[in-house]
């Protein structure tokens, strides 16, 4: 059992952190004996009943002064490197010069070290853990660090410190039984019907990119001649599309069913046409308004639902207030015939009050947390999480978006460059578990974008890596099931893990991962070199287990 000593102002963040790091824990009680006590901030004490104390603080503490530990303030966003774990620090941090300390990513000084105390053994870490977690769950991290799953790496470091100190650990990892991770395929339906646009900025942009820009891309070797010809043909067909004499090549997003072949996805539809909505400064740009609404694609919606896909809300003003959220969700439900469970905002609009508005409007999840301009982990995690402002709504983070990869104003990558960019994202999913959420827009498989082949290659790679493909709602349901696990310890020392969420046989089983105790290290270098070993057991309902020291 892990005991936690933290400032009461961090209570909700502490609780959420241990939903993400699903291990037995409780607020520290002076009458209990613990294997590990985690102290965060100034609350570092030596009179604790524990074998190991992990002391996090990003400033000099009374503990440091008592033990003559010399601290030095570290530069903002300095990186911590511990063995194979590297991540940025966004708040205050200190470095140490003690022998046996672990170096940071920028110098030979250190952000962590083990004291010479016998028992309890103290591991001093030079940053405020729960302040860092709060920053990631509320503000997110800058695009420059997008590729780093920073919150997950905080968990990995804590896990390494516990197991590396020779202590047993039980965890329900974010890994569905039978698969290394979940792949959640989503599609934002921004411009579903070409003929409704007439000659507006969207169509003029399409014509330019299908003709002039396509020639330039072909000349630079970034577009194959065959695709150039397809784009020219599409541009030439435009008058016939308007006249109803040629197929609307944007209104074919049900082609995703052919590409995905039984890998169900989620489609986020616009509720009302010609509404740009509101921005934080007033009226949103006119270009944000869509030329269609969900009623114009009712037939396609029926096809998608019949194939097991989910229909969600691509919100306009739902990020601003719950009344707008309810109105927009009702419009989607009117056409889909189902309760609208989830939302993703058009253009990823949101602010600090949005999660509460979505929850009050009745949504089960949101999937807006992500980047327009790059790919990666805005909240630093592959897990669905609960924002601090709400009680039940979960945030399904968005990790990969087609326009971020290929638009010249964003990353502007070629197919080869995009694949290199995504390879570490695939590898991290296989290593950390959780979910990889992908957004491929409705018209991205049509001329002039022509990103369908890349999408198919990505699907095959995820399949090769063993991903479990789930709709957004089913993904969130799996995380709710994991979050419902409760740990108990009996009088004879046995532990149990039990799922309290109502059982749903269609939701994949969980795993219980057991790390048994090893030899006690004498310095931090031994912890850094520790290689974790574990045994997984299937957790379907309730499981009794032991942790042996």
Q: CATH number for the domain including 379?
A: 3.20.20.370
475/429 Cα distance (integer angstroms): 14
pLDDT of 103 over the 50 cut: no
Radius of gyration (C-alpha) of the chain in whole angstroms: 25
Residues 105-109 have a mean pLDDT of: 40
441 part of a folded domain: yes
Decide which of 470, 488, 520 is a domain's last residue: 470
325 and 287: one domain?
yes
Cis peptide before 120 (omega within 30 of 0): yes
Would 68 be classed as within a structural domain? yes
Bridge partners (DSSP) of residue 170 are 514
Whether residue 524 has pLDDT greater than 90: no
Distance of CA 460 to CAs 9, 322, 346, 453, 464, Å? 46, 39, 28, 11, 6
- Model confidence at 98, pLDDT cuts 50, 70, 90, reads low
Q: What is the CATH number of the domain that holds 109?
A: 3.40.50.880
517 domain residue, yes or no: no
Confidence at 99, pLDDT banded by 50, 70, 90: low
Task: Tell me which of 93-102, 475-484, 527-536 is least confident.
Answer: 93-102
Same domain, 415 and 291: yes
The reply to whether 504 falls in a domain is: no
Which of 49-63, 245-259, 492-506 tops mean pLDDT?
245-259
d(CA 497, CA 537): 11
From 457, 432, 430, 463, select the one nearest 445 (Cα to Cα). 457
Among 415, 437, 470, identify where a domain stops: 470
Does residue 129 sit in the same domain as residue 214? no
Residues 240 and 280 in one domain: no
Whether residue 205 sits in one domain with residue 150? no
Task: Let me know if residue 39 belongs to a domain.
Answer: yes
Same domain, 329 and 427: yes
Residue in the block written with tokens 């045994």: 535
Give pLDDT tens digits for 108-138.
345 666 665 567 788 888 899 999 999 999 9
The residue among 449, 470, 491 that closes a domain is 470
- What letter would DSSP give residue 143? G
Please choose, from the candidates 468, 477, 482, the residue with its C-alpha nearest in 3D space to the C-alpha of residue 513: 482
Helix axes 212-219, 201-210, angle to 10 degrees: 30
Q: What is the reported pLDDT for 104?
A: 42
Does 100 have pLDDT greater than 60?
no
pLDDT at residue number 242: 94
Q: Higher model confidence: residue 177 or residue 117? A: 177
Task: With cut-offs at 50, 70 and 90, classify the pLDDT of residue 531.
Answer: confident
**What pLDDT score does 108 carry?**
37
Residue 318: inside a domain: yes
Buried b (16+ CB within 10 A) or exposed e, 410-427: bbebeeeebbebbeebbe
Distance CA 338, CA 145 (A): 38
Given pLDDT bands bounded at 50, 70 and 90, which one contains residue 277?
very high
Which pairing describes strands 50-56 and 25-27: parallel, antiparallel, or unpaired?
unpaired
- Using DSSP's 3-state secondary structure scheme, residue 347 falls into helix
Confidence of residue 336 (pLDDT cuts 50, 70, 90): very high
Residues 70 and 81 in one domain: yes
Lowest mean pLDDT among 57-66, 75-84, 183-192, 225-234: 75-84
| Least confident piece of the model among 250-254, 274-278, 492-496 | 492-496
**Banded model confidence at residue 363, pLDDT cuts 50, 70, 90:** very high
Least confident of 20-34, 86-100, 256-270, 344-358: 86-100
**Better-predicted residue by pLDDT, 544 or 528:** 544
Q: Do 260 and 379 share a domain, yes or no? A: yes
Residue 184 confidence class, pLDDT cut points 50, 70, 90: very high
Model-level pTM? Answer: 0.94
Average pLDDT over residues 296-310: 97
Q: 376 and 265, same structural domain?
A: yes
Residue 469: in which H helix or E strand, if any?
strand 468-469
Residue 225 burial by CB count (10 A; 0-12/13-18/19+): exposed, middle or buried?
exposed
What is the model's pLDDT at position 110?
59
pLDDT digits (tens, 9 = 90+) for 444-457: 999 999 999 999 99
Is the pLDDT reported for residue 409 higher than 90?
A: yes
State yes or no: pLDDT of 76 exceeds 80.
no
- Tell me what percent of the residues of the chain surpass a pLDDT of 90: 74
What was the pLDDT predicted at 507?
85
- The mean pLDDT value for 271-298 works out to 95
Tell me how many domains the chain contains: 3
pLDDT of residue 107: 40
Please give the residue range of the domain that contains residue 110: 2-171
pLDDT band at residue 199 under the 50/70/90 scheme = confident
Distance between CA atoms of 491 and 482, rounded to whole angstroms? 25
Residues 291, 396: one domain? yes
Q: By percentage, how much of the chain surpasses pLDDT 70?
A: 92
Same-domain status, 17 and 158: yes
Please indicate, yes or no, if residue 491 is contained in any of the structural domains: no
Is the distance from CB of 192 to CB of 251 less than 8 angstroms?
yes
Residues 25 and 136 occupy one common structural domain = yes
Does residue 102 lie in a domain region?
yes
């Amino acid at each position: 059992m892990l005991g936690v000593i933290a400032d009461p102002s961090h209570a909700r963040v502490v609780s959420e952190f241990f939903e993400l790091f699903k291990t037995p824990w409780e607020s520290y009680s002076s009458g209990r004996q613990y294997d590990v006590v985690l102290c965060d901030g100034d609350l570092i004490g030596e009179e604790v009943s524990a074998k190991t104390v992990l002391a996090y603080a990003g400033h000099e503490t009374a503990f440091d002064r008592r033990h003559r530990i010399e601290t030095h303030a570290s530069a903002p966003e300095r990186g911590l490197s511990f063995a194979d774990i590297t991540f940025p620090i966004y708040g205050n941090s200190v470095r140490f010069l003690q022998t046996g300390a672990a170096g940071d990513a920028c110098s030979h000084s250190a952000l962590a070290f083990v004291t010479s105390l016998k028992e309890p053994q103290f591991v001093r870490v030079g940053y405020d853990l729960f302040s860092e977690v709060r920053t990631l769950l509320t503000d997110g991290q800058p695009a420059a660090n997008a590729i780093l799953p920073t919150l997950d790496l905080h968990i990995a470091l804590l896990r390494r410190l516990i197991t590396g100190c020779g202590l047993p650990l039980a965890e329900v990892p974010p890994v569905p039984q039978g698969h290394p991770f979940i792949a959640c395929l989503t599609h934002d339906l921004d411009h579903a019907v070409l003929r409704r646009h007439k000659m507006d900025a969207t169509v003029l942009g399409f014509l330019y990119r299908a003709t002039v820009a396509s020639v330039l891309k072909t000349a630079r070797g970034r577009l194959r001649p065959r695709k150039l010809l397809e784009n020219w043909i599409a541009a030439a067909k435009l008058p016939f599309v308007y006249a109803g004499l040629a197929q609307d090549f944007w209104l074919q997003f049900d082609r995703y069913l052919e590409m995905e072949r039984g890998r169900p996805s989620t489609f986020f539809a616009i509720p009302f046409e010609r509404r740009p909505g509101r921005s934080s400064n007033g009226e949103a740009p006119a270009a944000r308004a869509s030329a269609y609404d969900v009623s114009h694609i009712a037939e396609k919606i029926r096809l998608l639902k019949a194939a097991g896909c989910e229909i969600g809300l691509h919100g306009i003003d739902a990020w601003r207030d719950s009344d707008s959220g309810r109105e927009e969700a009702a419009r989607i439900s009117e056409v889909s015939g189902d309760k609208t469970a989830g939302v993703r905002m058009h253009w990823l609009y949101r602010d600090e009050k949005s999660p509460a508005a979505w929850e009050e409007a009745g949504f089960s999840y949101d999937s807006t947390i992500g980047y327009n301009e790059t790919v990666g982990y805005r909240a630093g995690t592959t897990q669905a999480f609960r924002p601090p402002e709400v009680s039940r709504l979960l945030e399904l983070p968005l990790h990969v978006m087609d326009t971020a990869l290929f638009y010249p104003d964003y990353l502007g990558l070629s197919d080869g460059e995009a694949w290199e960019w995504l390879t570490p994202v695939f590898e991290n999913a296989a290593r950390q578990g959780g979910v990889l959420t992908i957004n491929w827009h409705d018209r991205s498989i049509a001329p002039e974008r022509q990103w369908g082949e890349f999408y198919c290659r990505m699907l095959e790679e995820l399949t090769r890596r063993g991903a479990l493909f789930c709709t957004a709602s089913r993904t969130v349901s799996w995380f709710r099931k994991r979050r419902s696990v409760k740990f108990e310890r009996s009088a004879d020392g046995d532990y149990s893990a039990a799922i309290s969420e109502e059982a749903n046989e269609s939701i994949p089983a969980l795993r219980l991962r057991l790390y048994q105790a090893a030899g006690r290290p004498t310095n931090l270098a031994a912890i850094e070199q520790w290689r974790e070993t574990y045994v997984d057991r299937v957790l379907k309902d309730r499981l009794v287990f032991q942790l042996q020291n």
